[in-house]
Amino acid sequence: MRRALGLTGWVLRILPVVVVLLVAVPGSAVRPTSIALTTVQHAEGYDAGGDVVWVLVLGSDAPPGTSIVEGDTDAIQLLGIDAGTGAAAAIGIPRDTYVDLGGEKGRINVALRTAKGDPALVAGAVADLVGISPDFVLVTGGQGFEAMIDTLGGVTVDSPVAFDTDDGGMHVVKGPNHFDGEQALDFATTRRAFAGPGDFVRSANHQALLLGLLNQLQARDDREGFVEAMALASLDGIDTDASPLDLYRLLNALTAVDPDQAKGCILVGEESQDPVGNFVVLPDSVLGHQLGEDAVDDATFDQGCEGSP
């Protein structure tokens, strides 16, 4: 049965931090080859409220030494924030979601690479799924992620389960673990260690990791001039076509999030196979648009995540 997986209230507390960190770490820590932030010309979709900012966050698996937009994007989150109210909503899209990619069907995680780094294809695929065109597409790779963790002095993560990472190089205990950047990346990418749908467990680990990052960020973002300083610093740390005003708007929205008004849903569907036998997820288009229509103008899920109308 197709459904949307509801996330607990604290989960979305962690989602804004990934974008804040990606645009806020000074250039000495993260170079343009590690992070890309692109503004998007809206395709057809629901009209967002004036204070709502939508960011499509993509995690690229591009190997070191190559452009991050040449990799597959196995982490896909559409994050909306209403800067006027502090509400935040996220729609998670599984990497194996089977979508139209410019006339050919394929998994959504290959869209950016297929389009040679042009965010329009992946943004359009997301708009087709949920009816929301993002204002920004943000991509980061492993090197940028590690640098961000190390810049913050590591991160403490409360792991929901104990396991050995896929490479066998680290044992994670249930409960608090302190990771440096490399260890955090191993924690985030492990999936073969889990029975059943490993990507769903991996997604839960992403949430625990980002929660730890948020706890550290909250100790810093109340300093006077934080938003202004980070908007300027980000210009030297990322490859972007965004203006200083765009960056200020984005950072101002992210730092305005009220954790008590944050929620996320993950759009999943039926497990299937493509014509050559690869595993794919057939998305529930009715449910996808229900989630999008619900959240687009105020970044809240008034109807919740479960089931269809």
pLDDT at position 10 is 37
Please write the tens of the pLDDT for every residue from 152-169: 778 888 897 899 999 888
Percent of the chain with pLDDT over 90: 22
**Contacting residues for 103 by C-beta, under 8 A, at least 6 apart:** none
pLDDT at 188: 83
Is residue 182 domain-resident? no
Residue 209 is predicted with a pLDDT of 74
Tell me, what's the pLDDT at 6? Answer: 45
Instruction: Single out the residue of 170, 158, 263 nearest to residue 212, CA to CA.
Output: 158
Separation between Cα atoms, residue 185 and residue 206, nearest integer Å: 10
Most trustworthy range by pLDDT among 135-139, 171-175, 191-195, 265-269 = 171-175
Contact 88, 298 (CB under 8 A): no
pLDDT in tens, 6-60: 443 334 444 444 555 554 454 444 444 567 778 886 544 444 456 788 989 888 8
Question: Do the domain assignments include residue 159?
Answer: no
| Percentage helix, strand, coil for the chain under 3-state DSSP, each rounded to 5 | 35, 25, 40
CATH of residue 17's domain is 3.30.420.590
pLDDT digits (tens, 9 = 90+) for 266-307: 787 788 899 999 989 899 899 899 999 999 999 998 887 764
Q: Are 153 and 220 in contact (CB under 8 A)?
A: no
Q: Is residue 28 part of a domain?
A: yes
Phi-psi region of 50 (alpha: psi -120 to 50; beta: other; left: phi over 0): alpha
Per-residue pLDDT at 30? 47
pLDDT at 130: 94
210 belongs to a structural domain? no
Average pLDDT of the residues of the chain: 76
Is the model more confident about 207 or about 11?
207
pLDDT of residue 281: 85
The answer as to whether 199 is a domain residue is: no
Report the C-alpha gap between 15 and 80 in whole angstroms: 10
Q: Is residue 178 part of a domain?
A: no
Count the domains in the chain.
1
As a whole number of angstroms, the distance between CA 108 and CA 274 comes to 13
What pLDDT, on a 0 to 100 scale, did the predictor assign at position 26?
Answer: 47
Q: Which residue has the higher pLDDT, 118 or 259?
A: 118
Angle at 141 between CA 173 and CA 76, to 5 degrees: 80
- pLDDT value at 181 more than 70: yes
pLDDT at 260 > cutoff 90: no
The CA dihedral of 107, 112, 113, 118, to the nearest 10 degrees, is 150
Domain span at 79: 4-141+225-295
Residue 258 has a pLDDT of: 73
Condensed to tens digits (0 to 9), the pLDDT of residues 74-93 reads: 888 888 888 888 888 888 88
Instruction: Classify the C-alpha dihedral 147-83-209-72 as positive or negative.
Output: negative
- Asked if residue 217 belongs to a domain, the reply is no
Query: pLDDT tier at 138 (50, 70, 90 boundaries)?
Result: confident
Are the C-beta atoms of 8 and 304 separated by less than 8 Å? no
- Does some domain include residue 181? no
